[in-house]
């Protein structure tokens, strides 16, 4: 329409047509066309590569639906490229669904499993089972020398979950305190008003989510910084006030906040595209040595 108006009428009429917003279907169609084009470019580059490796991750959304995420790394001329290629909901038996999605994707795109030299997983049993895991089934159709590894970040996250019983009790009690204050709308508003009247730097506590493991350090640090939580629990006469009144408990809380903030820094430094296993191993070893030194 714009081209026709420019040719038949004048540029002023074409400018007026440009003001008309595109329909939802038009925007969706353009996004889908762009997504398909990017996917085809990635697939063609993977086909031209001598070999490739994939990374599989099972995640879950807010509705507890399992999602399969797949990344591919391949050699493009003189550099390594990483792209996100698959994200599909899973239903039925997990292992069969995982493997079926991968096989279907490779057949549709014409990829050769013989070029697959590595598979990195999150270590779940469905992925790494020695008899019916996804990696076992991939090895049956892929290169026999396939290298199977466990994600470095996931292993570090799992090790951080194993707390001593005393520290684990502090963590659970901290989550209960946060839920009492943030989990109720009235308590949340009253706590915000209290922090505002005192002139506190923060006005809200952060919810703890187990799946978001980078959030744990921020949750504990925020609770440790907001001393107003002790006064608020006393005003509502909550039995949890005894924890914030205990000096030993608050000291353990401060320790947890500090160590998890260090773990957050480590996790953030391990992420990125321009890295390798040697760099990641050096960072984790340096972190452990610093802990022993401190």
Span 49-91, pLDDT tens digits? 888 888 887 776 666 677 777 888 888 777 778 777 777 776 6
Q: Are residues 95 and 170 in the same domain?
A: no
pLDDT at 160: 65
Q: Are residues 91 and 162 in the same domain?
A: no
Q: CB-side exposure of 278: number of CA atoms within 13 Å?
A: 0
- Structural domain count, the chain: 2
Q: Are residues 164 and 255 in the same domain?
A: yes
What global pTM score does this model have? 0.60
pLDDT beyond 70 at 240: yes
124 — pLDDT class (breaks 50, 70, 90): low
Q: Are residues 142 and 163 in the same domain?
A: no
Last residue of a domain, one of 150, 184, 217: 150
Return the CATH number at 103.
3.30.420.40
Residue 41 in any domain: the answer is: no
Range of the domain at 143: 48-150
| CA 196 to each of CA 179, 190, 214, 232: distance values in angstroms, whole numbers, following the listed order | 20, 10, 27, 13
Q: Are residues 178 and 273 in the same domain?
A: yes
Last residue of a domain, one of 115, 150, 185: 150
Highest mean pLDDT among 17-26, 32-41, 223-232: 32-41
Say if CB 253 and CB 246 are below 8 A apart.
no
pLDDT at 71: 82
- Mean pLDDT score, 205-228: 72
Residue 252 in any domain: the answer is: yes
Residue 59 φ then ψ, to 5°? -125, 175
Above pLDDT 70, what percent of the chain? 85
Indicate the helix (H) or strand (E) that contains 59: strand 52-60
Q: Are residues 92 and 162 in the same domain?
A: no
45 — pLDDT class (breaks 50, 70, 90): confident
Residue 3 in any domain: the answer is: no
pLDDT at 131: 58
pLDDT at 207: 73
Say if CB 243 and CB 177 are below 8 A apart.
yes
């Amino acid at each position: 329409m714009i081209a026709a108006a420019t040719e038949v009428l004048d540029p002023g009429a074409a400018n007026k047509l440009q003001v008309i917003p595109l329909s939802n279907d038009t925007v969706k169609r353009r996004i889908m066309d762009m997504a398909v084009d990017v996917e085809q470019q990635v697939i063609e580059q993977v086909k031209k590569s001598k070999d490739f490796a994939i990374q599989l991750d099972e995640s879950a959304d807010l509705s507890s639906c399992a999602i399969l995420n797949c990344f591919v790394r391949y050699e493009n001329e003189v550099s390594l490229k990483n792209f996100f290629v698959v994200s599909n909901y899973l239903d039925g038996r997990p292992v069969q669904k995982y493997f079926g999605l991968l096989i279907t994707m490779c057949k549709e795109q014409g990829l050769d499993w013989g070029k697959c030299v590595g598979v990195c997983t999150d270590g779940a049993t469905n992925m790494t089972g020695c008899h019916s895991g996804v990696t076992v089934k991939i090895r049956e159709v892929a290169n026999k020398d396939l290298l199977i590894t466990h994600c470095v970040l996931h292993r570090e996250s799992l090790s951080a979950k194993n707390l001593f019983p005393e520290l684990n009790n502090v963590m659970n009690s901290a989550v209960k305190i946060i839920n009492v204050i943030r989990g109720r709308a009235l308590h949340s508003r009253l706590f915000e008003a209290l922090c505002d009247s005192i002139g506190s730097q923060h006005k809200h506590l952060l919810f703890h989510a187990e799946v978001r493991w980078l959030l744990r350090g921020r949750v504990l640090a925020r609770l440790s910084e907001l001393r107003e939580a002790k006064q608020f629990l006393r005003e509502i006469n909550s039995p949890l006030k005894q924890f914030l009144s205990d000096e030993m408990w608050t000291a353990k809380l401060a320790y947890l906040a500090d160590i998890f903030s260090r773990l957050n820094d480590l996790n953030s430094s391990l992420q990125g595209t321009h890295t390798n296993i040697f760099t990641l191993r050096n960072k984790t070893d340096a972190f452990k040595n610093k802990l022993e030194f401190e």
